[in-house]
Amino acid sequence: MKITEVRAAVPRGTNEPRDWRTAMAQIAVTVETDEGLSGVGVGGGGPSGIHIIDTVLRPVLVGQEIGEDSDQALADIERLWERMYRAILPFGRKGLAYMALSGVDLALWDLVGKRAGQPVYELLGGLRHSEIPVYASIDAVVNDEVERGFKHVKLHLNRHSGDVPESIEAVLVARERVGADVKLYTDMFFRYDLESTLRMADAIFPYGVEWIEEPLSPDDLDGYAELVRRSPIPIAGGEHEYGVHGFREILDRRAHAILQPDASWCGGMTQLRKIYGLAAERGVWVVPHRGAEVWGLHAVAALGDRPLAESGRPWVTWLRGEPPIKDGFVRPSDAPGFGVELDPASVG
């Protein structure tokens, strides 16, 4: 099977957030072959990511062969990933270029799964978890999540901009709203420093918070390492890290207790499964960012020892076939590949 074309577009949705997630929007990638099969993936970087695919990654892939049996095909994906990685090394060891590469890599995995007639989780070793609990990723106020069956809820406290008393109050109100049986998590999105995070952790620890996510800059690994040592609540992060090399440094420095790679940003499935393997060696829990979306879901279903998935991006309305979340759980589809297709109207 020979790759004949690689195309990327920014799909048109209905409710994209008006911030960097629009300017650097999710991009849909399609890899076409001479057999008429095509694979679909989602990366990031908006128009800049598309430019990288068109000018750097497409020339690397077009004309390349992918083997017939699954083992050879997966070896070919690894080979092609290395070629793409070397092509972006001079300018894209992290960030936008990695996001673009991620979408291409996921499209290749989708393609191989479709050709084999198997879901991607089978290519990863087989389905271990047919039903995966989902945590509702919300703002700082709980609404009807408990009534909809969620047993896990994450609060985004970034709008409080480091205001510790306001954040503590939000956690207290949320705990009273959800009751004792629902697990709570917090996401601070770089808005705190070391000392304010520690004050927060001490104050909200009695409310049974399961983790504090990304309170510091992703580059402050020294600060994170100290947080891991001193915080009574586990420290999570990695949503904005790239590649197994970046995650190895996090683990070597013991800077996170929980890893949260995003399959559409961290280098695709080729890197995500290596991150899982590395974390397993160190006994570290992996909970992919937006893991209820198919790109992370198949890894959670096949590779996770403690399956848990974050609810997906509500503005991604242009994929057909995403498994629905019902009563706080998501069930991976048994359709070939990732089991989704692009809405043609969104990219036409």
Judge whether 337 lies within some domain: no
Confidence of residue 57 (pLDDT cuts 50, 70, 90): very high
Same domain, 163 and 257: yes
Specify the residue for token string 């080729």: 270
Let me know how long the chain is.
348
Same domain, 64 and 185: no
Same domain, 166 and 142: yes
Active site residues: 289
Given a cut of 70, is residue 341 above it in pLDDT?
Answer: yes
CA atoms of 333 and 318, how far apart (whole Å): 18
Contact 118, 41 (CB under 8 A): no
Same domain, 111 and 183: no
CATH of the domain at 31: 3.30.390.10
- Per-residue pLDDT tens for 68-96? 999 999 999 999 999 999 999 999 999 99
CATH of the domain at 180: 3.20.20.120
CA atoms of 292 and 83, how far apart (whole Å): 29
Of the residues 117, 152, 180, the one at which a domain ends: 117
Which pLDDT score is estimated for 198? 96
Confidence of residue 9 (pLDDT cuts 50, 70, 90): very high
Judge whether 112 lies within some domain: yes
Same domain, 85 and 139: no
The number of folded domains in the chain is 2
Judge whether 123 lies within some domain: no
CA atoms of 41 and 51, how far apart (whole Å): 16
Specify the residue for token string 């909970």: 287
Same domain, 110 and 141: no
Which pLDDT score is estimated for 12? 78
| Mean pLDDT score, 27-46 | 97
- Per-residue pLDDT tens for 202-243? 999 999 999 999 999 999 999 999 999 999 999 999 999 999
Same domain, 308 and 180: yes
Judge whether 35 lies within some domain: yes
- Per-residue pLDDT tens for 102-125? 999 999 999 999 999 999 999 999
| Mean pLDDT score, 160-168 | 82
Strand partners, 137: 154
Of the residues 62, 91, 117, the one at which a domain ends: 117
- Per-residue pLDDT tens for 238-275? 999 999 999 999 999 999 999 999 999 999 999 999 99
Same domain, 136 and 195: yes
Judge whether 126 lies within some domain: no
User: Helix, strand, or coil here: 137?
Assistant: strand
Judge whether 60 lies within some domain: yes
Mean pLDDT value across the chain: 95
Given a cut of 90, is residue 314 above it in pLDDT?
Answer: no
Judge whether 155 lies within some domain: yes
Domain assignment of residue 202, given as a range: 132-332
Which pLDDT score is estimated for 187? 97
Same domain, 303 and 238: yes
Which pLDDT score is estimated for 160? 67
Same domain, 112 and 143: no
Judge whether 144 lies within some domain: yes
| Mean pLDDT score, 187-206 | 95
CA dihedral of residues 225, 227, 228, 232 (deg, nearest 10): 170
Given a cut of 70, is residue 15 above it in pLDDT?
Answer: no
| Mean pLDDT score, 286-308 | 97
Check residue 333 and give left, alpha or beta (phi > 0: left; psi -120 to 50: alpha): beta
Given a cut of 80, is residue 348 above it in pLDDT?
Answer: no
Same domain, 257 and 152: yes
Same domain, 12 and 49: yes
